[in-house]
């Protein structure tokens, strides 16, 4: 429960307690055993009206609190939606970035320079839109929140059991959200 919600609930409780005290103070002087039936009926009606006002005030405070919670939640969701609005576009660009990586590894000297220039411009554009490459290296612990194990092989060393042995495809973040998990090969513990 957030501090603001606790504060709103506490305020509503305090307001309800004040209202109950006001009702008691309003009711006490009006009740007199010697009053006539007419005065008694008026006092009873007054008590009912004060109780009804208290009930409506309580409902109003609860509705107001719910509305504030709704407003905060929707504004947070709106900000998250805006920050990840390009995720579909970015996901479409990721395989292109992978192709550039492969071309750089397999190309000749002259072609490599041209592809490097294109790739750097493309990469800078993606980064300016909020795309970040995951920093994953061999030997890191496997974390299912960031990695997807596509296969498992016998660990070449006991220290690599349950750890990442090879990265097949890197993972990517858009802002703080993972939009593609790193595809990795892990070492088996057997």
Fold of 87-188: Nucleotide Exchange Factor Grpe; Chain A, domain 2 (2.30.22)
Tell how strand 182-188 and strand 177-180 pair up: unpaired
- The answer on pLDDT for 1 being more than 90 is no
Eight-class DSSP state of 32: -
pLDDT above 70 covers a percentage of the chain that reads 80
- The answer on pLDDT for 63 being more than 90 is yes
CA separation for the pair 174, 130 (Å, rounded):
5
> Predicted confidence band at 171 (pLDDT cuts at 50, 70, 90)?
very high
Q: Quick one: average pLDDT of 1-13?
A: 58
Of 68, 60, 70, whose CA–CA distance to 12 is shortest?
A: 60
Looking at residue 176, what is its pLDDT? Answer: 87
Cβ proximity of 51 and 23 under 8 Å:
yes
pTM to 2 decimals? 0.50
Cβ proximity of 14 and 58 under 8 Å:
no
Please report where in the chains the tokens 């016998």 appear, as a residue: 154
Eight-class DSSP state of 181: P
Looking at residue 3, what is its pLDDT? Answer: 58
Looking at residue 58, what is its pLDDT? Answer: 93
Of 188, 190, 91, whose CA–CA distance to 142 is shortest?
A: 188
């Amino acid at each position: 429960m957030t501090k603001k919600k606790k504060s709103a609930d506490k305020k509503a409780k305090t307001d309800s307690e004040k209202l109950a005290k006001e009702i008691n103070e309003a009711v006490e002087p009006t009740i007199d055993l010697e009053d006539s039936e007419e005065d008694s009926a008026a006092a009873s009606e007054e008590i009912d009206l004060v109780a009804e006002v208290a009930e409506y005030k309580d409902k109003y405070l609860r509705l107001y609190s719910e509305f504030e919670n709704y407003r905060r939640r929707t504004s947070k969701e709106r900000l998250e939606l805006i920050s990840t609005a390009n995720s579909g576009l970015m996901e479409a660009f990721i395989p292109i970035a992978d192709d550039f990586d492969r071309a750089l590894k397999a190309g000749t000297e002259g072609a490599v320079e041209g592809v490097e220039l294109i790739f750097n411009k493309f990469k800078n554009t993606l980064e300016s839109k909020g795309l970040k490459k995951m920093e994953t290296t061999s030997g890191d612990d496997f974390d299912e929140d960031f990695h997807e194990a596509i296969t498992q092989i016998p660990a070449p060393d006991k220290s690599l059991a349950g750890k990442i042995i090879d990265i097949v495809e890197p993972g990517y973040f858009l802002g703080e959200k993972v939009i593609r998990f790193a595809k990795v090969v892990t070492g088996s513990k057997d």
